[in-house]
Amino acid sequence: MFDNQSKIKQLISKFCPKGVIFKELGELLDYEQPGRYIVNSTDYNNSFKTPVLTAGQSFILGYTDEIEGVYYASNKKPVIIFDDFTTSFHWVDFNFKVKSSAMKLLSPKTNLDLNFRFVFYAMKCINYIPTDHARHWISQYSKFKIPFPPVEIQNEIAKILNSFTELEAELEAELEARKSQYKWYRENLFLIKNDVEIKSLGEVGVFIRGNGLQKKDFTESGIGCIHYGQIYTYYGTFTDKTKSFVTPDLAKKLRKVKKGDVIITNTSENLEDVGKAVVWLGEDEIVTGGHATIFKPQQVDGKYFAYYTQTQMFFDEKRKYAKGAKVIDVSATDMSKIKIPVPSLKEQKRVASILDKFDALVNDISIGLPAELKARRQQYEYYRNKLLTFKEYAN
């Protein structure tokens, strides 16, 4: 690392001792609308070949067998997919289709001597959080300036940062292997045995549909609340703290969640997130809102149920009741019809305890691989910001 930094200092001294010029992203990148690449059907299957992408956090939503309208990307011809509303973006070097038109496909201008990967890393240093629901590439983001040193320096910086991302990718691959192992054990722990009774969820607990609650209702303090969208973007299988709060007056109008209750999402843009569950383990009563259902377990352990919602068996069941195309919904009434194996309470707690350990191994950022990966990412971000800080050349 230090040798590389010395080399960069030498290159700066040689090519741009008085500073580097800064250019707007719009001067460096072309954009394409994604209309022709939008997937026709959201009936995804992991056995299909072509990934369907979103520029948001989910990235790969699923896989399609559609062969028309595929975007052909590769190591030699990569592309950046850019979410026009959230400004999230991803580097893509494989063939794909997209979920919606709410993005731009960014590629390097052909008349410039630039390293596309360098531009990608420089974009990562832009600190911008949209405050309105509008398209941002043309109006705002493309006007942000980044340092644009001679290509020799771009190449060297990209080479260093690539080495960090490769190490990170190795850790991610190992973590994914652990997750696959975790998934295998989870599926097998829920395999139906001859002596285990099968019951509908409506028989083993009570469903209460949420009401109200929008993100604009959040306050800095007050009564804890969980919004349905946070269940598949923020929370894990269980929690005893809430990210958000509402005023006591509003809380009186919302559905109440007690310790041991499970909050389930009813609605999402993809079937994967519908039915995702989080167990509330805090001592204080909290609230939730619309597009969420409170499940009050009576004959099942809350954690046991929440882990079951992550299985293929549950996925296959909820698929039968899913309604909608762009927005998918499984109602509380239909959710109550889904079957679940109900062993003894002692066995349920044993299963949940085993899965707690696996969950910590693959998700707890304070131990093991997740902790190592977090440290590697922090190191990468430190060097990225350091390497991409330049004195601007003044004419």
Q: In terms of domains, do 125 and 171 share one?
A: no
Average pLDDT of the residues in 300-308: 96
Return contacts of 109-116, CB within 8 angstroms, 24+ apart. Answer: 109/27, 109/28, 109/29, 109/30, 112/28, 113/151, 114/28, 114/148, 114/151, 114/154, 115/151, 115/154, 115/155, 115/158, 116/78
Provide the pLDDT confidence category of residue 395 given band limits of 50, 70 and 90: low
* Phi and psi angles of residue 303, each rounded to the nearest 5 degrees, phi first: -65, -40
Two tokens at 364?
């707890």
Same domain, 163 and 125: no
Residues 353 and 226 reside in one and the same domain: no
Range of the domain at 48: 23-146
Is 9 part of any domain? Answer: no
How much is the mean pLDDT over the chain?
91
Q: What is the pLDDT of residues 185-222, one digit of tens each?
A: 999 999 877 789 999 999 999 999 999 999 999 999 99
Same domain, 250 and 180: no
Instruction: Name the percent of the chain lying above pLDDT 90.
Output: 70
Residues 269, 282, single domain; the answer is yes
Residue 2 in this model has a pLDDT that exceeds 70: no
Distance CA 355, CA 375 (A): 25
For the chain, the 3-state helix, strand and coil shares in percent, each to the nearest 5, are 35, 25, 40
Asked if residue 171 and residue 113 are part of one domain, the reply reads no
Cα within 13 Å of Cα(14), Cβ side: 10
Per-residue pLDDT, averaged over 277-300, amounts to 96
Mean pLDDT, rounded, for 225-229: 95
CA distance 372 to 335: 38
Q: What is the pLDDT of residues 7-18, one digit of tens each?
A: 777 877 777 778
For residue 209, the cross-strand partners are 293
Is 251 or 181 the better-scoring residue by pLDDT? Answer: 251
Cα–Cα distance between 17 and 2 in angstroms, integer?
20
Domain assignment of residue 158, yes or no: yes
Q: Is residue 7 part of a domain?
A: no
- Does residue 5 sit within a domain? no
Do both 178 and 295 map to the same domain? Answer: no
Q: Which of 342, 369, 387 represents a domain boundary (last residue)?
A: 342
> Does 232 have pLDDT greater than 50?
yes
**Count, residues in the chain:** 395
pTM for this one? 0.61
Taking the C-alpha atoms of residue 303 and residue 34, their distance in angstroms, rounded to an integer, is 41
Residue 394: give its domain's CATH number.
1.10.287.1120
- Do residues 275 and 392 share a domain? no
- Chain segment 20-50, per-residue pLDDT in tens: 899 999 999 999 999 999 999 989 998 999 9
Question: CA 129 to CA 139: how far, in whole Å?
Answer: 14
pLDDT of residue 393: 76
DSSP-assigned beta bridge partners for residue 245:
219, 224
Per-residue pLDDT at 386: 83
Decide which of 342, 370, 387 is a domain's last residue. 342
Task: Assess whether 313 and 295 both reside in one domain.
Answer: yes
Residue 62, phi-psi category: left (phi > 0), alpha (psi -120 to 50), beta (remainder): left
Nearest to 281, CA basis, from 267, 266, 293, 263: 263
Angle CA 5–10–11, to nearest 5: 95
Half-sphere exposure of 242 (CA within 13 A, CB side): 26
Average pLDDT over residues 330-345: 94
- Report CA torsion sign: 71, 77, 83, 84: negative
* Number of structural domains in the chain: 3
What is d(CA 321, CA 323) in angstroms, rounded to the nearest whole number?
6
| Residues paired with 262 in a beta bridge | 279, 295
Q: Is 51 helix (H, G, I), strand (E, B) or coil?
A: strand
Within a domain: 1: no
Question: Are 231 and 241 in the same domain?
Answer: yes
- Dihedral over alpha carbons 321, 299, 341, 338 (to 10 degrees): -10
3-state secondary structure 220-245: CCCEEEECHHHHCCCCCCEECCCCEE
Long-range contact set of residues 90-95: C-beta below 8 Å, sequence gap at least 24: 90/53, 90/55, 90/59, 91/117, 91/120, 92/53, 94/51, 95/50, 95/70, 95/71
Q: Are residues 327 and 353 in the same domain?
A: no
Q: What is the CATH number of the domain that holds 210?
A: 3.90.220.20
* Positions of E strands within 27-98: 29-32, 50-53, 60-64, 79-83, 89-92, 97-98
pLDDT band at 4; cut points 50, 70, 90: low
Give a yes or no: residue 3 inside a domain. no
The reply to whether 133 and 42 lie within a common domain is: yes
Residue 316 lies in a domain: yes
> Does some domain include residue 11?
no
